[in-house]
Structure 1
Amino acid sequence: MADKIRFDSVTKVFTVRDTEKGKGSKKEFTAVKDLNFSVKDGEFLTLVGPSGCGKSTLLDLLGGLTKPTTGRILLDGKEITGPGLDRGIVFQQYALFPWKTARGNVEFGLEAKGVSKKERNELTQYFLSLVGLEGFEDRFPHELSGGMKQRVAIARSLAFNPDVLLMDEPFAALDAQTRETLQSELLRIWDKTKKTIIFITHGIDEAVYLGQRVAVMSTNPGTVKYMVDIPLDSRLNEVDIRSHAEFVKARHHIWSLLHEKVYQAASI
């Protein structure tokens, strides 16, 4: 399977305030350093790591919202130089227009893209149905639950038909039951659409459940330290996949990798 995305020695440095030196002082902060990894076409990759390890910076770079200080990111062999409709982004915050219905929120971008009214209606209905919102098309955001709002946000991103779906902790603000439901829904959508998905999470269980591989990041500076293959092929068919021996083994392995520095520091 061909590479869809390639990070080639990517480093991102920001200029920030130097609080130790007083007013007006600046210093450089390296958010991510030497990112070197690839993502296959149609792969579901999850990223997990401690706060401040650069997960969101990595996603911003991939989305073209910011540019690498050094290195480059390739999408289908072409360097990413800015945002594009080939990448859809779903954030933790729903970012829906409160004055538009679920249908209107999904249609908005398609209208701006110049899609005909007939095709807009068909695409919107298809993707709202795909995310389980058939019958809720004419509800406004304040009439929807948090999980439903996030479904609208996912439908909106999918309607553009992006090659890659970027997801920045999209289920973090939801209750546990809704989160598990949407995790399963996302796997079903991924299985049907074959999109390449990169999904950021703080949750090890979520990373293992969703990802074919889990990228484990470390901090100071942020980098992808390990890539862990997850040998689970029947997530949607297993009644309680989280009790599966392979799931438990993978979860413990990733937990150990994330806590490796803690153990090392304690032994010094």
Structure 2
Amino acid sequence: MSVKIDIRNVRKEFRIRDTREPFTALAGTDLDVREGEFLTLVGPSGCGKSTLLDLIGGLTEPSGGEILIDGMPVSGPGLDRGVVFQQYALFPWRTARANVEFGLEAKGVPRAERAERARHHLDLVGLGGFEERYPHELSGGMRQRVAIARSLAFDPDVLLMDEPFAALDAQPRESLQEELLRIWEKTGKTVVFITHGIDEAVYLGQRVAVMTSRPGRIKEIVEVDFDTREGDLRAAPAFGEYRHHVWTLLRDEVAAAREQERKVAVGHG
């Protein structure tokens, strides 16, 4: 399987007001994301997961190293990448269909084609019949489906997802996890998915990339390979084994992140 995203020795620093030393979010981060794979990314709070996703999306630039997509350096946002954030970021004055059409308008897609593509992608995420509903008329899970449809509508090669289900209750979250896997299997997109949930990471990912505490880098990549995905996967013995392994990798990093927070709180960070 060929490499789609190549992250090479990436470093990201931020200048903080009233301090001499820069804040280092990422240091020496290396990661390959394969063409068409679903990769999940986990790590302790503040380890730089979202920063790394922003760098892949071209929303910010690395302080060192480089990120390549299809062998070309990332130099800014592009239509080859779609981004789904935790907050839905829908326009409240636009219907579900019109929200999905927004990116297509900017791309100059003709009106009739925009409407057809919007309907197709709303159907794809299970929202057929809800095209003319406004965001306030939809549940949280449905609004997140609209956000996913909007990101898919302009047909990006890569889908970047930053804890998109974190604000949802357990039942709609698990439903959307299953829906997302179905969409991924159908479309063949390359997906990078950030989550705080180990269960979610193992359930969704073909591989789980575990990050260290700040400054973040990749500690280990866990290959997830189930014999079958039929039935209740979360109850399978292999699921528990993968979950335990990922948690073992994370445990020391979470402790280190808490110690960093403690030092900052008492003025020694």
TM-score interval for Structure 1 and Structure 2 normalised by the shorter chain? over 0.9
Instruction: Give, in angstroms, the shift of residue 111 of structure 1.
Output: 1.3
**2:51 aligned with 1:57:** yes
Once residues 264 and 85 of structure 1 are traced to their aligned partners in structure 2, the CA distance between those partners, rounded to angstroms, is 38
Greater CA drift, 116-125 or 195-204: 116-125
Once residues 29 and 263 of structure 1 are traced to their aligned partners in structure 2, the CA distance between those partners, rounded to angstroms, is 20
Once residues 157 and 33 of structure 1 are traced to their aligned partners in structure 2, the CA distance between those partners, rounded to angstroms, is 29
Instruction: Give, in angstroms, the shift of residue 261 of structure 1.
Output: 4.7
Specify the code of the residue in structure 1 equivalent to 2:246.
I
| TM-score normalised by the chain length of structure 1 | 0.93
**2:35 aligned with 1:41:** yes
Q: 1:231 matched to which residue of 2?
A: 225
Instruction: Give, in angstroms, the shift of residue 68 of structure 1.
Output: 0.6
Once residues 94 and 204 of structure 2 are traced to their aligned partners in structure 1, the CA distance between those partners, rounded to angstroms, is 31
Counterpart of 1:16 in 2: which secondary structure? coil
Instruction: Give, in angstroms, the shift of residue 37 of structure 1.
Output: 1.5
Alignment of 1:250-261 (within 5 A): 250-261=242-253
Which residue, out of 238, 245, 248, partners 1:246? 238
Once residues 168 and 260 of structure 1 are traced to their aligned partners in structure 2, the CA distance between those partners, rounded to angstroms, is 23
Alignment of 1:1-268 (within 5 A): 1-17=1-17, 24-232=18-226, 234-235=228-229, 238-261=230-253
Once residues 263 and 16 of structure 1 are traced to their aligned partners in structure 2, the CA distance between those partners, rounded to angstroms, is 25
Instruction: Give, in angstroms, the shift of residue 263 of structure 1.
Output: 8.0
Instruction: Give, in angstroms, the shift of residue 262 of structure 1.
Output: 6.6
Once residues 253 and 141 of structure 2 are traced to their aligned partners in structure 1, the CA distance between those partners, rounded to angstroms, is 35
Instruction: Give, in angstroms, the shift of residue 233 of structure 1.
Output: 5.3
Once residues 264 and 116 of structure 1 are traced to their aligned partners in structure 2, the CA distance between those partners, rounded to angstroms, is 53
Deviations 1:191-235 (A, max 9, x none): 000000000000000000000000001113111111000012533
* Contact 2:213-2:256 at 8 Å conserved across structures: no
Deviations 1:100-152 (A, max 9, x none): 00001001111121001121111111100000000100000000000000000
Structure 1, unaligned runs of 5 or more = 18-23
Once residues 42 and 133 of structure 1 are traced to their aligned partners in structure 2, the CA distance between those partners, rounded to angstroms, is 25
Aligned length: 257
Instruction: Give, in angstroms, the shift of residue 186 of structure 1.
Output: 0.1
Relative to structure 1, is the Cα distance of residues 261 and 133 closer, same or farther in structure 2, using a 3 angstrom cutoff? closer
Counterpart of 2:186 in 1: which secondary structure? helix
Deviations 1:21-74 (A, max 9, x none): xxx344211101111120110000000011010000000000001101111000
Specify the code of the residue in structure 2 equivalent to 1:177.
Q
Structure 2, unaligned runs of 5 or more = 258-269
Q: 2:265 matched to which residue of 1?
A: none
| TM-score normalised by the chain length of structure 2 | 0.93
Runs of 4+ that moved beyond 3 A: 260-265
Relative to structure 1, is the Cα distance of residues 233 and 182 closer, same or farther in structure 2, using a 3 angstrom cutoff? farther
Once residues 253 and 188 of structure 1 are traced to their aligned partners in structure 2, the CA distance between those partners, rounded to angstroms, is 26
Once residues 104 and 256 of structure 2 are traced to their aligned partners in structure 1, the CA distance between those partners, rounded to angstroms, is 51
